[in-house]
Amino acid sequence: MNKELAAKLNLPALEKGWVWLVGAGPGDPGLITALGLQALSQADVILYDALVDEALMSLSKAEKIYAGKRAGVRSCKQDEISDLLVTLAKDGKRVLRLKGGDPFVFGRGGEEAQALARARVNFRIVPGITAGIGGLAYAGIPVTHRDTNHAVTFITGHGIDGKLTKLDWAAVSRGAPTLVLYMARKFAGEITQGLLAAGRSPNEPAAIIANAARKDQKVVITTLANLPAAAATAPTLAILVIGENVRLAKELNWMAEAFA
Residues that bind ligand SAH (CB under 6 A): 26-27, 51, 99-102, 105-107, 130-131, 135, 182-183, 209-214, 237-239
Annotated active-site residue 49? The verdict is: yes
User: ∠ CA(13), CA(9), CA(61), 5° rounding?
Assistant: 45
Residue closer to ligand SAH (CB basis): 6 or 210: 210
Residue 19 Cβ, how far from ligand SAH at the closest point, in Å?
Answer: 17
How far apart, in whole angstroms, are the C-alpha atoms of residue 117 and residue 103? Answer: 16
Nearer to ligand SAH, 62 or 239 (CB): 239
CB 120, min distance to ligand SAH, A: 26
What is the spatial distance between Cα 36 and Cα 127, in angstroms, rounded to a whole number?
9
Report, in Å, the least distance between residue 63 CB and ligand SAH: 23
Smaller CB separation from ligand SAH, 26 or 205: 26
Of the residues 3, 61, 69, 90, only one is catalytic, namely: 69
Minimum distance from CB of 208 to ligand SAH (Å)? 9
* Of 160, 253, 64, 121, the residue nearest 112 (C-alpha): 121
Least gap, CB of 23 to ligand SAH (angstroms):
7
User: Among residues 6 and 81, whose Cβ is nearest to ligand SAH?
Assistant: 81
Q: Which of 28, 93, 99, 183 is catalytic?
A: 183
Give the helix/strand (H/E) hosting 56.
Answer: helix 54-57
Q: Which residue is nearest to ligand SAH (CB)?
A: 101
Q: Among 28, 49, 53, 102, which one carries the catalytic annotation?
A: 49
- DSSP letter string, 183-252: S-GGGHHHHHHHHHHTT--TTSEEEEEESTTSTT-EEEEEETTTHHHHHHTS-SSEEEEESGGGGGHHHH
216 among known catalytic residues: no
Catalytic residue flag (residue 183): yes
| Amino acid at the residue 105 | V
- Which residues form the catalytic set? 49, 69, 183
